[in-house]
Amino acid sequence: MKTAIVTGATGGIGRAVVAAMVNAEYEVKPIPHTWSDKADILICCHAAPPKSSLDSVLAIDVSDTFSMILESADHMSKNKFGRIVLFSSIRAHRPLPSQVNYAIAKGAIESMARGFAVAYGQYGITVNCIAPGAVDTPRTRANIAAGIVLESELIQRTPNGRLATVDDICNIVLWLVSDGAAHV
């Protein structure tokens, strides 16, 4: 049985990812902002709270993720197997004025995924980054309620005409951690 660490497991996507991984019979350790060097799979769903300073966002979203990958990759490299899944956001490419710090961090996460994919691919470790677009989570609902974004605009920008569900995202995660995604 593969062991997975899921960070941000108290949030909308993170909580759903933990449940999906458990249902798929992975051993899951939900850890909000810590890491383990014994994981076969690392899924980083954590994000700094809204309105955090740039220093906090960079420390939580970027530096913590970087450290977790380094620690997990040592174990994964020895086993010649590893799956790392990170989360970006549409805001990395389409920032809103009130979410500049978040956009900076998510852009860094995308670069980190590309860099680590190249660095660790030779050890059987895949590194992928999901930028799910608008997902119907409590954080998205709070942004809609606060007038930061309009639900109609989010839906209009989505090709299938709806917000993604956490189940949509969980299906992507489950595939990325599977043997079927060994070359992705």
Catalytic residue numbers, as ranges: 102
Whether 122 contacts 180, CB under 8 Å = no
**Distance from C-alpha of 99 to C-alpha of 146, rounded to nearest angstrom:** 13
User: Which DSSP string do the residues of 141-157 spell out, in sequence order?
Assistant: HHHHHTTSS-HHHHHHT
**Distance from C-alpha of 56 to C-alpha of 101, rounded to nearest angstrom:** 9
- Residue 119 burial (CB count, 10 A): 13
Lookup result for tokens 């660490």: 5
Whether 18 contacts 28, CB under 8 Å = yes
3-state secondary structure of 44: strand
> Facing residues of 26 across strands?
none
- Residue 169 burial (CB count, 10 A): 22
Whether 71 contacts 116, CB under 8 Å = no
